[in-house]
Amino acid sequence: MNKQASVETPPLSHARDLTRPGFYVKLVLMALVNAFGLYGIFASWAQEQWGILGFLVVTLIIADYVYFSKRAIPAKYLFPGLVFLAVYQLYVMGMTGWVAFTNYGDGHNDTKKAAITQILATSEVEGDVSYPLTVVERDGELGFAVVQDGQPLFGTADEPLAPLDGATVDGDKVTAVDGATVLQLNDIVQRQDAVLQLRVPMSDEPEDGSLRTRNGSTATQSLPALHYDEAADTLTNTEGVVYKADDKVGNYVAENGDVLKPGWRVGVGLDNFKYLFTDSRVSGYFLGSLGWTFAFAILSVLTTFALGLVLAVIFNDPRVKGRVVYRALFILPYAFPGFLAALVWKGMLNRQFGFINQTLLGGAEIGWLTDGNLAKLSILMVNLWLGFPYMFLICTGALQAIPAELTEAGIMDGAGPIKRFFNVTLPMLMVSVAPLLIASFAFNFNNFSLIYMLTGGGPNYPGAPFTVGETDILISMVYAISFESQKQYGLASALSILIFVVVGIISWLGFRQTRKLEEIM
Amino acid sequence: MRKSLIALAAGLTVALTACGGGTTGTSSTEPSQSTDPSASQSEAPAASGSLTLWADETRIEAFKQLGEAFAEESGVTLDVVQKPTGDIAKDFIAQAPTGQGPDLIVTAHDGLGQLVENGVIANIDFASKADKFNPVAVQAVTLDGKVWGMPYAMENIGLVRNNKLVQDTPGTFDELIAQGKAVEGAEYPILIQQGEAGDAYHLYPVQTSFGAPVFKTENGEYIAELGMAGDEGVKFAEYLQKLGKDKILSADLGGDQAKQAFLDGKSPYMITGPWWTTEFKDAGMDISVLPVPSAGGQPSAPFVGVQVAYVSAHSKNALAANQFMDFLASKDAQDKLYELGGRAPALLESAASLDDPLIKGFDEAGKDGQPMPVLPQMTAVWEFWGNTEVQIINGQSADAKAAWSAMNDNIKAKF
């Protein structure tokens, strides 16, 4: 900044100087931000999403303060990033953390209020006669008009069905009523909540049930089968069986153990976290999978790095002709979408029809994906094919960044090529590449798409209490446990948090080690 | 100066949001369609507004055309959204409680248990229509004594024969295999797709012919008690082992490979459903559809799959959605869906006019069929069933009986 200028006139930013376009750009942008913000606030108000509403209000106020205030200069740069951090990181992490302590999943999909509504709505017993229905408004009150044995009847929520005078009947349907309005379909649609909830008693006797409609044009007789007692929080059926709300499991449960569906989400404490360790039938497979996950991640990094490095060193040598062409070819697998490549490999490795067995091995029936050990080998080989171009790229880049003087100094000191490689090139290379190797380890530790697409975790263990196979890594095993049959979001969240802890600790240890590598610089 | 500018900015914002707010108003009151007062005064019986329906790629065209017919009749437009088959139920269960899900979904009936367990679908008025539908279709959409969706089409697998290779079919499965082996140039006596995860669905006609259905039935409804846990089931498992040893069945033969092999004339028979017969016919093959011959002495009964439309329990336009259900139960709609989808209609009146010999053949093959169970316990069955079968077939489980009982124990442990 020009110090002299600031003494004479205070510096005016682009976004404040009325004579410059920057100000107007800012004005338009902020107007848009406010417009969208208020739109979102109104929309979430209408949808009764109070959490989102609160977040939008707070964010909008802060945004306006930050960009119209003179003081908050650093915040002007940080604010958009912080908003995205909150939405895409903190919210997701918080949500996962919260779900991990609940039983959210199949059968416990919604709130208790929604569960009660659904239980009551679906418990009604319906008769098998349907009457053509006319919805009538009389004295501001909605009612149903039907024809029974040629006699027009009318009733409202409070008055049971009774003969109706002054009605015009066409066939089996009332078409007009004196002193009252017959609602047309469009009016019914407008007031559908009231019409759908209306129950008109058939008679003074409650056991006769009441008329209800679902479509506005026909009515059926219905009898409530469950009674909800709000004070006691119980549901009682017509036989007198009482279902009590059990907020520990999130269901209405009768004394004989019968459960009403659906249930609702409740907190279950640490149950989801304990699952892997307390269920002895599961923990054996868990340990097997844990071992294979480490082996897979470590071997994947080592093999891809070794191949990538060797190729990088070779093709970094100026004596190799056509290096550009070779390099482009090597990058090709990297340009393929990984899951697509995995599917193609799966086809090629099929025991009976695959290209490898049929064409390359002359019809040998080798179970590349159906034998446990071979499947593991196949996964490592496919991952090598998928992963070496990345290592090749970063190694080539890192090699070119190593000053040529160092190699020359090595030659002057009389070191041979192998000694130069291991004592000069490799340590220099590791400084820049080691963090990427750790990242690669973390990525492969959770390389779900490769396993899922290539073997689906199989071959499966015979007789296992859930679908788990010899090539399942932790994340694909979590998927098998919590999604393959019953959806158990709570369990899945808890298990992925456990995986995160493992990956986090290893990465932390790894990065601490790489700092030591830098000391040689 | 600066203050007045802020005021100006604020004014601009308010002006802009006024437009934004306006659109919000209408979109958020979507359920109570058309707030235009003139519309409500009109005498036309037609309602207005729109319904959202999720369907997969095989059903979307049919429902788009059906939606046009429905719009003409009722004035309600049907907005048909394409979703991958496997995602419909899953996404619907997750989204319906938030109020963001569709009003209607169309899927196969076998996910019913899960939809009910999660409380995301509403039951429909069906009692007055029940006797107009095929009883198997009604059984398929009934759970806990209530009807949850409108069935519109049915399908099951049968024995598809390549008439160029063989012309008549023996009465038992063993004879059929012997006949298939004798056919010159055929690599497989019969094709039954399996794949690495197994495929219990395509083996089910063979399994039921041993008298080992997956669940026992009581008064025509499935009960949560395994019917395949007894000796009959073990006999079937041992038969599977034999078929695996004789290379009649193979885990390498997935759906695509089996279809290709049949198209290439490598086998006189294939157990499959109507979804591929069009392709066989288009390829110029002369095929017939027959019941699967019995392997264990009793009639073979495939699973019957029923195509169903469900109404969301959270639909804000439930009235129009139920009108669509009634429309779907009409002969016109079922005829149209048969024409567009090529599956036997669930409505008896429409089914009576079937003329396609292949569809009739499938109908005959499924005459002893039972709907695929919708009990929530079925998810536990699916988890182990195909896997165990494929392990018996490929010899991974050397003791068929032990593997079969381990499977039954594992399933029972999940009940």
Stretch (H or E) spanning A195? helix A192-197
CB B263 within 8 A of CB B279: yes
Q: How far is CA A462 from CA A18, A186, B379, B384, in A?
A: 76, 60, 18, 9
Between chains, do A462 and B406 touch, taking CB under 8 Å as contact? yes
Same domain, A96 and A122: no
On the question of a common fold for B12-155+304-371 and B158-301+377-413, the answer reads: yes
Which residues of chain B lie closer than 8 angstroms to A226, CB-CB? Answer: none
Contacts of B90 (CB under 8 A, 6+ apart): A487
Same domain, A410 and A461: yes
Report the alpha-carbon distance of residue B95 to residue B115 in Å, rounded.
12
Nearest beta carbon to residue B326 from set A215, A351, A370: A215
Return phi, psi of residue B248, to 5°: -75, -40
Strand partners, A155: A144
Among residues A214, A235, A260, the one where a domain terminates is: A260
Contacts of B71 (CB under 8 A, 6+ apart): B77, B78
Between chains, do B117 and A262 touch, taking CB under 8 Å as contact? yes
CB B290 within 8 A of CB B277: no
Between chains, do A195 and B319 touch, taking CB under 8 Å as contact? yes
Sign of CA dihedral A378, A380, A384, A387: positive
DSSP string, B212-268: --SEEEETTEEEEEESSSSHHHHHHHHHHHHHHHTTSS-TT--HHHHHHHHHTT--S
How many domains does chain A fold into?
3
Query: Nearest Cα to A134, choosing from A188, A98, A64, A83?
Result: A188
Query: Nearest Cα to B330, choosing from A215, A311, A108?
Result: A215
Q: What tokens appear for B146 in the block?
A: 């209530």
Nearest beta carbon to residue B125 from set A30, A43, A126: A126
Same domain, A343 and A490: yes
Query: Nearest Cα to B25, choosing from A190, A46, A49?
Result: A46
Nearest beta carbon to residue B319 from set A184, A216, A484: A216
Query: Nearest Cα to A252, choosing from A464, A261, A507?
Result: A261
Answer whether residue B51 shows pLDDT above 70: yes
**Strand residues in A279-385 grouped as ranges (E):** none
A265 in any annotated domain: no
Same domain, A92 and A116: no
Nearest beta carbon to residue A110 from set B39, B119, B318: B119
A271 in any annotated domain: no
Same domain, A121 and A201: yes
Contacts of A432 (CB under 8 A, 6+ apart): A394, A398, A401
- Interchain CB contacts (distance < 8 Å): A and B: 210
Report the alpha-carbon distance of residue A481 to residue A465 in Å, rounded.
10
Residue type, A258: D
CA-based end-to-end distance of chain A: 35
Contacts of B212 (CB under 8 A, 6+ apart): B227, B228, B230, B232, B233, B235, B236, B296
Nearest beta carbon to residue A484 from set B8, B99, B383: B383
Mutate which of A17, A48, A192, A223 to test chain B, going by most B C-beta atoms within 10 A?
Answer: A192
Between chains, do A465 and B379 touch, taking CB under 8 Å as contact? no
Residue type, B280: F
Among residues A80, A100, A120, the one where a domain terminates is: A100
For helices A271-278 and A489-518, give the axis angle rounded to 10 degrees: 80
CB B92 within 8 A of CB B120: yes
Same domain, A390 and A351: yes
Q: How far is CA B409 from CA A412, B348, B381, B397, in A?
A: 74, 40, 11, 16
pLDDT at B79: 94
Q: How far is CA B142 from CA A471, B135, B146, B221, in A?
A: 40, 10, 5, 9
Q: How many residues in total does chain B contain?
A: 415
Report the alpha-carbon distance of residue A287 to residue B263 in Å, rounded.
46
Nearest beta carbon to residue B119 from set A115, A130, A193: A115
Q: What 3-state DSSP class applies to B290? A: strand
> Nearest chain B Cα to A123, which residue?
B146
pLDDT at B7: 44
Mutate which of A189, A366, A486, A487 to test chain B, going by most B C-beta atoms within 10 A?
Answer: A189
CB A433 within 8 A of CB A294: no
Between chains, do B127 and A36 touch, taking CB under 8 Å as contact? no
Instruction: Report pLDDT digits (tens) over B180-238.
Output: 999 988 889 999 999 888 899 999 999 999 999 999 988 777 888 999 999 999 999 99
Apex B80 CA angle, A40 and B59, nearest 5 = 145
- The class of domain B158-301+377-413 in CATH terms is alpha beta
ipTM score over 0.90, yes or no: no
How many Cβ atoms from other residues are within 10 Å of residue A6's Cβ? 10
Between chains, do A46 and B33 touch, taking CB under 8 Å as contact? no
> Nearest chain A Cα to B43, which residue?
A184
Answer whether residue B36 shows pLDDT above 70: no
Share of chain B above pLDDT 90, in %: 53
Query: Mean pLDDT over all residues of chain B?
Result: 85
Query: Nearest Cα to B388, choosing from B188, B203, B159, B114?
Result: B203
Report the alpha-carbon distance of residue A167 to residue A464 in Å, rounded.
70
Nearest CA-CA distance, residue B318 and chain A, Å: 7
CATH number at residue A501: 1.10.3720.10
The residues spanned by each domain of chain B are 12-155+304-371, 158-301+377-413
pTM of the full structure: 0.78
A352 in any annotated domain: yes
Apex A463 CA angle, A459 and A464, nearest 5 = 75
Report the alpha-carbon distance of residue B273 to residue B192 in Å, rounded.
11
Report the alpha-carbon distance of residue A515 to residue B133 in Å, rounded.
73
Report the alpha-carbon distance of residue B47 to residue B277 in Å, rounded.
41
Same domain, A50 and A184: no
Which residues of chain B lie closer than 8 angstroms to A484, CB-CB? Answer: 383
Nearest CA-CA distance, residue B8 and chain A, Å: 9
Nearest beta carbon to residue B119 from set A109, A196, A351: A109
pLDDT by 10s per residue, chain A, length 521: 444 444 455 566 666 777 788 888 888 999 999 999 999 999 988 878 888 899 999 999 999 999 888 888 888 899 999 999 999 999 999 999 999 999 998 889 888 999 998 998 888 888 778 888 889 888 888 899 998 888 888 998 888 988 888 888 888 888 888 888 888 888 888 888 888 888 899 888 877 888 988 888 888 888 888 889 888 899 998 888 899 999 888 999 998 888 888 999 999 988 888 887 887 777 888 888 999 999 999 999 999 999 999 999 998 888 888 888 888 888 888 888 888 888 899 989 988 778 888 888 887 888 888 888 999 999 999 999 999 999 999 999 999 888 888 888 888 888 888 888 888 888 888 888 998 999 999 999 999 999 999 988 878 887 777 788 899 999 998 888 888 777 889 999 998 999 899 889 988 998 888 887 776 55
Instruction: Report pLDDT digits (tens) over B300-327.
Output: 999 999 999 999 999 988 999 999 999 9
For residues B262-279, average pLDDT: 91
Q: What tokens appear for A484 in the block?
A: 């393959």
One CATH from 1.20.120.790, 3.20.20.210, 3.40.190.10, 3.40.50.10090 for B12-155+304-371: 3.40.190.10
Query: Nearest Cα to B270, choosing from B156, B389, B390, B158?
Result: B158
Dihedral in degrees, nearest 10, Cα atoms B315, B318, B321, B327: 160
Residue type, B84: P
CB A111 within 8 A of CB A250: no
Strand partners, A168: A176
Among residues A199, A225, A260, the one where a domain terminates is: A260
Nearest CA-CA distance, residue A115 and chain B, Å: 7
CB A485 within 8 A of CB B383: yes
Report the alpha-carbon distance of residue A25 to residue B153 in Å, rounded.
59
Between chains, do A34 and B34 touch, taking CB under 8 Å as contact? no
A268 in any annotated domain: no
Query: Nearest Cα to A465, choosing from B384, B233, B227?
Result: B384
Same domain, A88 and A133: no
Same domain, A296 and A254: no
pLDDT at B9: 43
Query: Nearest Cα to B165, choosing from B179, B145, B144?
Result: B179
Q: How many residues in total does chain A contain?
A: 521
Which residues of chain B lie closer than 8 angstroms to A193, CB-CB? Answer: 31
Going by the DSSP 8-state scheme, the letter that residue A51 receives in this structure is H
Same domain, A315 and A290: yes
Query: Nearest Cα to A180, choosing from A158, A201, A164?
Result: A164
- Counting Cα atoms < 13 Å in the Cβ hemisphere of A370 gives 24
Q: How far is CA B58 from CA A64, A474, B84, B157, B366, in A?
A: 50, 35, 10, 17, 22
Same domain, A9 and A90: yes
A221 in any annotated domain: yes
Between chains, do A190 and B33 touch, taking CB under 8 Å as contact? yes
Answer whether residue B38 shows pLDDT above 50: no
Report the alpha-carbon distance of residue A447 to residue A441 in Å, rounded.
10
Between chains, do B32 and A189 touch, taking CB under 8 Å as contact? yes
Domain that holds residue A96: 2-100
